[in-house]
Structure formats: C-alpha cells, structure tokens
Amino acid sequence: MAASDSNLEARVEAAAKTGGQRGMRWAWRGAKEPKMKHPPLAPRQWLKVVGWRHLIAIIAVIFALYPVIYIVSSSFNAQDTLSSAKVIPDEMTLDSYREFFNPENPRINPFATWLKNSWIVSVSAATLNVALAAMAAYAFSRFRFRGRRVGLLALLLVQIFPQFLAFVAILLIMINIGNVFPAIGLNTLIGLTLVYLGGAIGFNTFLIKGFMDSVPESLDESARVDGAGPGTIFLKIILPLARPALAVIFIISFINLFGEFLLARTLLSSTENFTLAVGLQLFTNADYGASWGLLSTSAVIAAGPIVLTFLVAQRAIVSGLTGGAVKG
C-alpha cells in the first residue's frame, strides 16, 4: 500500500516547481497561454491545432471504456454466458440485478454476502486505522519527546515493506491465535479486520502527520492559553481542520482494503466468510463462462459506489493519490 515517504515526494514536487522558476527560461510553447479570449479558428486550422488532439483523446476514451461498457451491458444481458456477451445485448433485462438482491436464491446469495463482508471489513478497518493513525500523528506532530526522531525513522523503515509480503508469517500467527481464540483467529472477519488494522497505520501516520504539521501551532498555543488540554486541542482544533485530509485518507484506505486479495485469500477459508475479491476469484475459477451475467452484475454493483465517489471527489482523491499513496 505504501509507496514511499510522501513528505519527501511533496517536497520533490515543490523542488521541481521552484527548479522551473529558478533555472528555466524556456517552456514548451503549447502550455497555458495568457488568459485572454482567443478568436475562433477556421475549420482547417481547428483540425490542425485541436482536432487531432480530440481524435487521440477519443481513441483513448474507447480503450478506457471498452471493458466498462462491455461489463455493464453484460449485466443487463438476458443471456448469462460469456460467449453470448455483447456490447449491445440482443435482449435487455434486469433479472440478474433482481437475483442479486434476492436472499432466497442460493445461486446468487453468496455474492451479496461477500459484498457485505467486504464492506464491513474495509469500513471498520479503514475507520479504526485512520483514527489510530491520526492519534499517533498528533503526538509526532505536536509533542517533543525522547525517541521522537527514532520513532519517526522506525515508522519510515517499517512502512517500506508492504504488509502482505509477510503473509506466511501472518498466516502462522493467525493459526496460533485461532487455536486458542477461534473467534478472532483464522477464517474470521474480525481476525482479518485486525490484520488490516495494523497494515497501513505506519504509512497513514506519516501522511496525516505531514498534514498536521501544516496546521499552525499558534492555534494550539492560543487554545492552551485558554486552558485546553491536549485531548481538547486534538478533538476541537486539529481534527476539524484535518477533516478533508482524513476523509481522503479514509477513502484511499477503504479502497485499498476493499481490493485486498492476498491476505484475505490466505486467511479466509469458508464460503460465508469470503470477501468479494476472494469469492469472485474462486467463483470464476470454477464456473467462469456459464455465470458471466452474475459476475458482471456483482462487478457493477460493487464498483458503482466507488466509481461515483471517485468522480464526485475527483480533485481531492487525485491529489491524495498523486501525493504518494498508490492504489491497489
């Protein structure tokens, strides 16, 4: 999940910017003309200047949307098999959607369960993760204590290794925990949530700390003069100011966990506990072509809310992601 030190990356971006200002006297001719009204172009000129750009863009749009349109149309296709899937189905129906939400139907029921599991695990792990990371970030950002530098360095070092790389060890640990406490061990959603909870804390602490550092300390100072303790400052000043950043980090964490596959596949073993990623993978291994319609329906239902969130909060999420977090 973690790429590398976001702080540094932000600095590098800034470095590139200033580099441009200091050293560069040249620029690419096409970039951002002065803000004035441009006279309309003659058609031939339009083709030469803008038209081909649209052409390339439209080709890219087709590449980007082809699988998406295909899967959406498959979900409405009356025929269920892979070989009958087309961009424009012969016969449109809502049957597979109705099936999806029908708990009586044993054929589709696991999909709804898997989707529910994915949501429960990702939302609870992401929420707790951001909360714990925010607390730790607050301490690193505001307190001066012995071991602070070492702590930050250790955090930096730990978050270099993606958690899933240690899946063998995590599996063996969870087997041991499960032997004594079956409720939180192997093959439980709680167990998976706990594992996820540990995963991105280091990286998120870094991201949030970077943001909290940009909140001026004079605000805390004046609150302290008014008699506020660290808890009050955290809850009443820092958190409200950090809310947009926390929201973005929450969304990114959520999406990462929603798509997490390796650990979920390692730790979950019974059908009713699968997350969507695990369930769909095993399902497609067993029964690919025949239930293509159901697969596409669950893909549309699962991806829909996330894609919408992305489109609505585009700017914020993109700035968060390009700031160093890598989406899985």
Partner 1 sequence: MTADPARRTLNSWGIAFWFRLAAIAILDALALYALLFLIAEGATLMLLSLIVGTTFINWVYLWPRTKALRWITPGLVFMTIFVVVPIFYTVYVSLTNQKTGNLTTKEQTIDFWEAKTYVDPDAEGQLFELSVYTDDATGEFRFLLYDDDGTYYFGEPRLRTEPPVADAIEDQGTFAAGTEIPPPEQSGFRLMSKREVFGLANSVNFKDLVIDAPDGEIVILGLSQGRVVLASQRWVYDADQDALIDTIGDRSCIPGDEIATKGNFVCEDGEVLFPGWAAFIGTNNYKRVVTNPLIRGPFLQVFTWNFLFALLTVVLTLGLGLILAITLHHYRMKGLKFYRSIFIIPYAIPAFLSILVWRGLLNPAFGTINATLAPLYDLIGMDPIRWLSDPFWAKVSVLVVNLWLGFPYMFLLATGALQSIPEDIQEAARTDGATGMRVFRKITFPLLMIALAPLLIGSFAFNFNNFNLIYLLTNGGPPVLGADVPVGHTDILISFTFNLASASGRGNNFGLAAAITMFIFLIVLVISAFSFRFTKRLEEIYGSL
CB of residue 189 vs partner 1: minimum separation in angstroms?
15
Cα separation, 324 vs 9, in Å, equals 7
CB of residue 226 vs partner 1: minimum separation in angstroms?
5
CB of residue 120 vs partner 1: minimum separation in angstroms?
16
- Closer residue to partner 1, CB minimum distance, 139 or 190: 139
CB of residue 281 vs partner 1: minimum separation in angstroms?
6
CB of residue 249 vs partner 1: minimum separation in angstroms?
14
CB of residue 17 vs partner 1: minimum separation in angstroms?
5
